[in-house]
Amino acid sequence: MKKNWMILIFVGASLLLLLYVKVSSIDVANDTASETQNNTPATTSESVTSQTTEPNPYDIPQPDDPRLTRLADGRVLYNPSVDASRTLDQTIDPDEALTVIDQLISHYRFAYKENPVGSENTEITEQLLGKNPKRIVFLDPQSQALTDKQLLDQWGTPYFFHALSAQEMEIRSAGPDQQHWTNDDFAINQAQQDSE
Amino acid sequence: MSKNLNHISRRQFLRAGTCGAMTIGPLVNTIAQLSLINSAAASALGGSLVGSDYKALVCIFLRGGCDMNNVLIPITGNPQADAYANDRGVVGIPNGITTSYNPTGADNTLPITVPGADPFGMHPSLVNLKAMFDNSEAGFITNVGTLAEPTNKNDYSTTSLPKQLFSHSDQVTQWMSSISDKPYISGWGARVAELYHDAWNINSQTSMMITAAGNNQFMSGSSVSPFSVTSSGSISLAGFGTNYASALNTDGSYKTNSTGRRFEALERIMQYSHAHILEEGYGEVVRSARANETIINEAIAATPSDVDFDQIWLDHEADSGVANELKSVARLIAGRECMGNNRQIFFVDLGGFDNHANINGAQPALLDQLDRAIGAFNAGMKALDASTIDTDFSYDKVTTFQASDFNRTWTPNGTDFDSAGTDHAWGSHSFVFGGAVNGGNFYGSYPTLEVGGVNDVPSGSRGRWIPTTSVDQFAAVMANWFGVPIGSSEMETIFPNLNRFEDPFDISGTANLAFLPPYVPPII
């Protein structure tokens, strides 16, 4: 009885091995075919579409990168950030505004591997405006949300930047009551977003 | 769904019995301490493993960034009292100055006398700490914080600053590592242990670092690990009841129920040697964890009969988490003979100090918890000193210091009493206490309490004091008291940036950090 079981197991294992070898050879063939296709000059409509797709803002910028605009004073506009920051006005949804600011911080972190440093709104805002080592501008200097180098929410209260770590920043709007840390506040946390 | 544990395979049994234990991080750390396997022999050694040259350093970390501006308060007669009352506004403690928040000019602080200084008061919750200060058992190191190099208002924009200033995580790490300008590698407590454990603790039976608050950067190192305990003792393997009550009789023999038999079988299996490195490592972890447990539990049970820590803690109404953690530390100090270490470093913590909101409600309660805990611990150390059974111990053997992420902003973030709080700042005040401390005094340099003043970070508007004493200087004085020689290569290894700052041991200088006596090796 035991011997029969062992024979069955052996036969089963052999079949599985054969199946694996077969599937692997098919995969290799497919990979080779796709590589050949990729090396062929793009002529299909699908390839053209992929070339016109928006560049990833987190790709490393090149010297003549269209995402960068160099200003006469030496500052460099990072257009994906600056364009996004132009949506910060009185009409934007409060949660959406936080998402945009979070995106600016995220782009800053992409450039410098850490968040802007500070515990006051002015300090963070100035760094987003170009007061940083490479003089990169992440926030439109003409943004409607700017007043006296402070980034204000829809109710005119400076956002609060809660520095949790080099990689994690909580951004808070005081909400309609214009008092921070009350029930009507809006807040966003990059790390929490990532984990969700 | 419960399983019938009488009919499980050996593999299932091992998995069920020990996976809980394997997930306990601190236990895994003990794999590096293979020498502890022989701990069972420790209790049989008898005699004195720890002589009179015993010292313990206890760190109390206040997580979240405690607002120490409300711990030391200028009061009437102090030129900075008006600034305190007016600038702190709704979050200020009434200090005798009449303002709209204090129309009667009440003074709710606990007044203290600081030699050569203007009048100060302490937060009204800190009754025990005030008494300790008055008795010269406690002192404050003022305006201390993380620094990469000496920094002032004028060179703030050009000097090297601590990485990610004002961020919780980074500032906690830098307080614990005492290195503010490089990525974290180890804590300064761990570096002390790495360099001196073998030399100081020749009869050691367990790690010289014990944490009652879980893993922390202060005690993390490359070759040493802390042993983790709970407020009630060691952490036992999961699945056998609290302290193995479901598996062991009071005399230590195995119970005859299924849990007892399972535990007995597990312990036997864990004694096997395994050819596979992971299996063997697994066995080592469990064996060393069990060995450490034995030692720790013996130590906790070894309190002299004429010292009743439970009663002392009861008298101080100290029953919070940090109070229980300090009670465990007190018991482990009392039972130090079982662990065989001449030097021990302990770590406890208390969270909840990130009071951006409702600081008026939260901080007094937190400081009250802290105060009762340190009051009980200080009384416990004195009781141990008075013990006629433990005659080797004296009150000056233990120094306790407090640290926190950072201080908080001088000005509040609101005007509503119930919701206002304070935000992240920098230079803080830390207290130290113990029999060796030159207490009843302020050390370092007390800051000028003025927004835009000489000590304020120039890029802000809220009052964030630039530290005038670095963590390196503060910690180096404690390390020296512990036994690390002044000017030694070891001191340089533990505090690689220390030489950037004024010599904290030069009593003729301006550092003003002689809060502990310098270490004098015992005459043999």
Q: What is the pLDDT of residue A35?
A: 41
Specify which residues B145 forms β-bridges with: B470
Chain A residue with minimal CA distance to B173?
A165
For residue B142, pLDDT over 90 is answered with yes
- Binned at pLDDT 50, 70 and 90, residue A25 comes out as very low
Report how far residue B298's alpha carbon sits from residue B46's, in angstroms, rounded to the nearest whole number: 13
CB burial class (10 A; 0-12, 13-18, 19+) of residue B468?
buried
- Binned at pLDDT 50, 70 and 90, residue A48 comes out as very low
- β-pairing, B398-404 vs B428-434, is antiparallel
Q: Mean per-residue pLDDT for B33-58?
A: 57
Chain A residue with minimal CA distance to B167?
A163
User: Choosing among A117, A125, A167, which should be mutated to test the B contact, i.e. which has the most B CBs within 10 A?
Assistant: A117
- Binned at pLDDT 50, 70 and 90, residue B2 comes out as very low
Average pLDDT, chain B: 89
Stretch among A14-28, A62-76, A131-145, B500-514 having the lowest mean pLDDT: A14-28
Q: What is the pLDDT of residue B231?
A: 73
Nearest to A114 among B161, B164, B356 (CB): B164
Which one of B53, B86, B121 terminates a domain? B121
CATH of A68-195, one of 3.40.1350, 3.30.700, 1.20.1440, 1.10.3470: 3.30.700
Number of folded domains that form chain B: 2
Could you tell me which of B345, B29, B398 has the C-alpha nearest to residue B187? Answer: B345
Same domain, B358 and B448: yes
Nearest to B166 among A163, A179, A182 (CB): A163
CB burial class (10 A; 0-12, 13-18, 19+) of residue B364?
middle
On whether residue B371 sits in a domain, the answer given is yes
Nearest to A119 among B357, B414, B423 (CB): B423
Same domain, B95 and B229: no
On whether residue B213 sits in a domain, the answer given is yes
Tens-digit pLDDT profile for residues B234-252: 777 888 887 788 999 988 8
Domain span holding position B310: 43-70+123-248+305-524
Stretch among B29-33, B70-74, B98-102 having the lowest mean pLDDT: B29-33
A106 Cα to chain B: minimum distance (Å): 16
Q: Mean per-residue pLDDT for A141-162?
A: 95
Same domain, B60 and B168: yes
**By the 8 A CB rule, do B61 and B349 touch?**
yes
**Contacts with A165 from chain B: Cβ below 8 Å:** 164, 167-170
Segment 125-184 of chain A within 8 Å of chain B by CB: 160, 162-166, 168, 179-182
For residue B70, pLDDT over 50 is answered with yes
Q: A159: which 2 tokens? A: 């956002």
- Binned at pLDDT 50, 70 and 90, residue B17 comes out as very low
Indicate which CATH number applies to the domain containing B485: 3.40.720
Q: What is the pLDDT of residue B224?
A: 85
Same domain, B110 and B237: no
Q: Mean per-residue pLDDT for B214-230?
A: 90
- Helix or strand or coil: residue A190? helix
CB contact under 8 A, B459 and A168: no
Nearest to B459 among A123, A164, A168 (CB): A123
Report how far residue B170's alpha carbon sits from residue B165's, in angstroms, rounded to the nearest whole number: 7
Nearest to A166 among B164, B358, B462 (CB): B164
Same domain, B89 and B65: no
Tens-digit pLDDT profile for residues A51-82: 445 667 777 777 678 889 999 999 999 999 99
Q: What is the pLDDT of residue A18?
A: 59
CB contact under 8 A, B460 and A120: yes
CB contact under 8 A, B414 and A181: yes
**Contacts with A160 from chain B: Cβ below 8 Å:** 356, 413, 423
CB contact under 8 A, A117 and B165: yes
CB contact under 8 A, A166 and B462: no
CB contact under 8 A, A115 and B164: yes
| Percent of chain B scoring above 90 in pLDDT | 75
- Helix or strand or coil: residue B101? coil
Q: What is the pLDDT of residue B10?
A: 54
CB contact under 8 A, A115 and B419: no
Same domain, B90 and B206: no
CB-based contact (8 Å) between A75 and chain B?
A: no
Same domain, B158 and B80: no
Same domain, B403 and B453: yes
CB contact under 8 A, B167 and A120: no
Nearest to B414 among A163, A166, A180 (CB): A180
CA B118 to chain centre: 30
- β-pairing, B442-444 vs B110-112, is unpaired
Chain B residue with minimal CA distance to A158?
B413
CB burial class (10 A; 0-12, 13-18, 19+) of residue B471?
buried
On whether residue B264 sits in a domain, the answer given is no
Q: A136: which 2 tokens? A: 């990169």
Could you tell me which of B148, B145, B152, B151 has the C-alpha nearest to residue B172? Answer: B145
Same domain, B99 and B149: no
CB burial class (10 A; 0-12, 13-18, 19+) of residue B150?
middle
CB contact under 8 A, A181 and B460: no
* Sign of the CA dihedral running B330, B333, B334, B338: positive
φ, ψ dihedrals at B254, nearest 5°: -75, 140
Domain boundaries, chain A: 2-51, 68-195
φ, ψ dihedrals at B111, nearest 5°: -65, 140
- Binned at pLDDT 50, 70 and 90, residue A29 comes out as very low
Size of interface A-B (CB pairs under 8 A): 71
Q: B183: which 2 tokens? A: 């990525």
B456 Cα to chain A: minimum distance (Å): 13
CB contact under 8 A, A123 and B424: no
- Helix or strand or coil: residue B142? strand
Structural Rg of chain B based on CA atoms: 25
Q: What is the pLDDT of residue A195?
A: 52
For residue A44, pLDDT over 60 is answered with no
Same domain, B210 and B161: yes
Tens-digit pLDDT profile for residues B255-281: 999 999 999 998 888 888 888 888 888
Q: What is the pLDDT of residue B27?
A: 36
What residues of chain B have any CB closer than 8 angstroms to a CB in chain A? 161, 163-170, 356-358, 409, 413-414, 416, 419, 421, 423-425, 459-462, 464
CB contact under 8 A, A119 and B409: yes
Q: What is the pLDDT of residue A60?
A: 75
A121 Cα to chain B: minimum distance (Å): 9
The amino acid present at B29, given as its one-letter code, is N
**Residue that the structure tokens 């008898």 belong to:** B46
DSSP symbol at B81: H
**Contacts with A119 from chain B: Cβ below 8 Å:** 166, 409, 423-425, 460, 462, 464
Same domain, B174 and B323: yes
**Contacts with B464 from chain A: Cβ below 8 Å:** 119
Q: B254: which 2 tokens? A: 């195995």
Residues 6+ apart with CB under 8 A from A57: A67, A80, A81, A107, A110
Q: What is the pLDDT of residue A56?
A: 76
φ, ψ dihedrals at A158, nearest 5°: -60, 135
Chain A residue with minimal CA distance to B164?
A117
| Percent of chain A scoring above 70 in pLDDT | 71
